[in-house]
A and B are shown apart, each in its own frame.
Chain A
Amino acid sequence: MNLKDLLSPFYVWQRAFEKPYTSIRPIQERPGAAAYRGFHINISEECIGCGTCHKICQNDAIDMVRVETYEGRSGDSGLRPRFDYGRCCWCALCVDMCPAGSLRMSNEYTWITSDPTEFHFTAGVEHTTWQDNPLGYHRAEGYHLYPPKRIEMEMLPPEVSVQSFDEVVAGYSEPQALLEADRCIECGICVATCPAHMDVPDYIRSIRDRDYEKGLQLMYRTNPFPATCGRICTRRCESVCPVGIQGEAIAIRWLKRFIVDQIQPQDYARILADQTGNSGHRVAIIGAGPGGLSAAYYLRKQGHAVTVFEAQASAGGMLRYGVPSYRLPDADLDKDINYIVSLGVDIRYNTRIGKDIRFEQLLQDFDALFLSTGLSVPSSMRIHGEEHPRVLSGLQVLADVASGRDPGVGQKVAVIGGGNVAMDAARVSRRLGAEVTILYRRRIADMPADTEEIHESQEEGCHIVTQAIPVEIIAASSPQQVSIKWGEAEMVQDPKGGRPRPVLQEDRMHVETYDCIISAIGQGSDLEFLSKEIQDQLAIEWGKFAPGEYQHTSLQKVFVGGDVANRTADAISAIEDGHHAARGIDRFLNPDARTHTDQEVN
């Protein structure tokens, strides 16, 4: 042994402070690539719990679980995806499919634990270190697994549509409907939002299967007015359709119409095969609008005898007298109504309760009553001179046209209001050859009318003047004309945070003369047919009923529904009210048939 051998172990130490040639493992982290498909991130606030990730997952790795924070939101199931990493294969189909665009992946890929029951978490709800990681796999901009744009609907060009009362919307052809139906992801979020809770994904599927008879059967489970709703429904379903978040909502209304249009009226009885027995009970319905006739349909299916009292000469209520035929042709409304009537519904036309028959008489003669009398009294503009004979009501103009009478609007018309009645009165006047100005007190964005109706009325040549407040109606030099004084308005922010309020500018007044002024600023109920005593018992607030759980009232055997009893005042809500009242009436008439889980009605 020499000195070198003795010292050599110590020579090693001289390198101890040099930079090592090797890398340190496993302490040094190795991040995934920027677009690596690592652990999931869900932006829970943007997620709507549609469950599409769960459905598309090929490994059954995603559950939809309740997360209380998100319950009760509109268009949101309140569920959120929970990932089982014992099954996930990181294929990212869930990310590619997510209609809300809330789901993506981080580039993190290490999760070390000694507990094999872990690797199971609700992304975006439970804390993870990767939730805020900006890297990882994102779906590329503009990349969709389904076409984000809806199939365009063909319509009459405005220069043609304004010439007649022909239907403006053409309806889908079969190839168009199949393509549009194919965009539906079948999540069913829309079902809760639809007032009637129609089985939307199921009837859209029937289009894909080209089984239109099945589609019709599905629609009648919840709505005996599909030909009508397929044309004029307010379609709240489409406003929550998840496909609409990153693209255009499924054209649910047009698909509904497509199904009905494929079926001939003479085939309804065979396809629907509705059974009507005889329960021995008699139900009276006041008003043959969508609410009354929907109740009539379901009551007949329960076997009850139904008599409908209708003040007008035809059935349909606002659908016939308020919606012009270029939006809802008579033949299509009749398709719905005739089938309901064919089940043995007795309609007494031209019979006004309170005038031709006393309400108390009905209370005495029938086992149950359903009141669905609608809103038929035009609201007053509350300005001086409005009783002038050349001031017409929008409702009257529409009713005249629907009945084949000339409302005599003249050549130059002003329409006051911004709702659907105002738009329809304006478009009807255009078709009668008039020049039309619409005066509205707020802005176009504030108009309660459907956006499409506003757009189409403008296209058809109606001139909209916004922030215009009517001040006074003045007699013109000719009795065939009338003048209106209106003032410009400034929109003033509400300090309490409500919607901006129009404030009249006294120094900016205008006076204009027209052949007629059509007032269409809303409508109220006509409850004259009820005695004071009965009105008191029915809990009427602001001219409307406030019904209970099953559309019932405090007056035993009286049920109410439709525009006169709800806040939404649209056809589909009235249809649901009628359907639900039929359930309530059936439970009231057959108390023994109630199951122990049912709640009391009266």
Chain B
Amino acid sequence: MMSELLDRLVRDFGVTDITERPPAITTLKVSKENGERLIRELRDREGFTHLNFIACTDWIEDGIFRLIYMLHNYDSKQNLGVHIDIKRDHAEMTSIHTLWAQAWTYQRELREMYGIHFPGSPRLEEDFCLEGWDAMPPMRRDFDTAKYSAERFGHREGRVSLVPRDHMKVQLYPNRGGDES
């Protein structure tokens, strides 16, 4: 039955990369343009009435964010992960808060953590868990955590860290090695 469905999704929505992930997750990929339409179809006609979550992965090397919509069918106990790649620059995706009211919360989180815009999604610009955040969204892989924490947070007094290689030179072979020749 699943394979019949998948065949139809390939035909009607141009779905690709269908992957079985045991025990009961199937993932597939669909274009950004067909994404909302596909999810709506799955909810309204195919019994995938529950939205488990929306997640995101930053594939910075490929210049994309991959959105993962995990849907559940209570009757068949099937999980279907819909993967949608969107461009990292000016990242934007159709909101699905009209399909599931709770989706706006996920979208608000994705806006905060990755900077992805979902036009029309309620309260999208409100802080979610990062109150007063004014830097690059922190889950983007080009966010430099170490640099950020060095700039923003105070330093505990008396902290000193030794470099293993240099420390061993001082301890074990102070007059040797490549520093003098």
Contact = CB atoms under 8 A, between A and B. Distances in A.
B146 interface: yes
Contacts of A54: 161
B176 interface: yes
Nearest to A75: B168
A63 B165 contact: no
B145 A66 contact: no
Interface string A177-201: 0000000000111011000011101
A595 to B, nearest CB: 10
Contacts of A59: 145-146, 149
Interface string A393-436: 00000000000000000000000000000000000000000000
Interface in A562-602: 576, 579-580, 582-583, 599
Interface stretch (B37-45, B120-128, B152-160): B152-160
Contacts of B145: 58-59
B165 A189 contact: yes
B175 interface: yes
B181 interface: yes
What does DSSP make chain B's interface, helix, strand, loop or mixed? Answer: loop
A284 interface: no
Contact of B161 (A65, A187, A221, A576): A65
B169 interface: yes
B167 A120 contact: no
A65 B164 contact: no
Contacts of B161: 54, 62-65
Interface stretch (A76-84, A161-169, A248-256, A513-521): A76-84
Contact of A583 (B162, B171, B175): B175
B159 A192 contact: no
B150 to A, nearest CB: 6
Contacts, number: 97
B177 interface: yes
**How extensive is the interface on chain B, given as a class?**
20 to 34
A374 interface: no
A295 to B, nearest CB: 12
A222 B169 contact: no
Contacts of B178: 197-199, 218, 221-222
**How extensive is the interface on chain A, given as a class?**
35 or more
A79 B176 contact: no
B66 to A, nearest CB: 21
B1 interface: no
Given A58-B146, A197-B169, A583 B181 contact: yes
What does DSSP make chain A's interface, helix, strand, loop or mixed? Answer: loop
Contacts of A86: 153, 156
B162 A65 contact: yes
A79 B167 contact: yes
A37 B145 CA distance: 19
A580 B176 contact: yes
A236 to B, nearest CB: 14
Interface string A13-50: 00000000000000000000000000000000000011
A548 to B, nearest CB: 12
Given A84-B159, A197-B173, A580-B176, A192 B168 contact: yes
A71 B164 CA distance: 11
A301 interface: yes
A192 B175 contact: no
18 contacts: A49-B164, A54-B161, A59-B145, A62-B161, A64-B162, A66-B167, A71-B171, A78-B167, A78-B168, A187-B165, A189-B164, A191-B168, A191-B177, A192-B165, A197-B176, A199-B178, A201-B165, A298-B181
Interface of A: 49-51, 54, 57-60, 62-66, 71-72, 77-79, 84, 86-87, 117, 120, 187-189, 191-192, 197-199, 201, 218, 221-222, 298, 301-302, 549-550, 576, 579-580, 582-583, 599
Nearest first, the 10 A-B pairs at minimum CB distance are A188-B165, A77-B164, A221-B178, A58-B145, A197-B177, A63-B161, A192-B168, A51-B164, A222-B178, A59-B149
